[in-house]
Amino acid sequence: MPTAKNYSYFILLVAIVLLSGCASVPETDSAANYPPMVSYAMSLQGAPYHYGKSSPEEGFDCSGFVQHVYKHQGIALPRTVQGMAQSLSQVPKDDLHSGDLVFFNTNGKPFSHVGIYVNNDNFIHAPSQRTGKVMMSSLKNRYWGERFSCARRP
């Protein structure tokens, strides 16, 4: 015959099972929800920063990262930030789509840094030797927000 203690454990177990069905895990962005170039760019998060380089093996600088990602998708882009900005069509900041390029003035030049827009004000880029790796950042971050120059669509 079941004891009161066993019955209490049984009730607790049933409650946990029932309540866990109500729990929801917030939906996270999956690289599968993005255009191929954005999914590929996201797969490179953590790759090392290395000025003048443009490969996962050697590392990336910002324009090398963007050029590599698009080349992987069969799209040729210039090697420099300036060249990319000059060769692509500008898009309004309020019309950004995944895969657009975002440009920043980080050293007194309007086109001194570039990244790939992901969504929800996030972009992926190879920021600097200091950060040391490809990473996701937000346009809402004060540093990036104050330095935003424009966006272009490949």
Annotated catalytic residues are: 62, 113, 125
Provide the β-strand partners of residue 59: 55
Alpha-carbon distance of 17 to 85, in angstroms, equals 55
Residue 42 near residue 31 (C-beta atoms within 8 A) = yes
Residue 58 near residue 143 (C-beta atoms within 8 A) = no
Residue 139 near residue 123 (C-beta atoms within 8 A) = yes
Residue 69 near residue 116 (C-beta atoms within 8 A) = yes
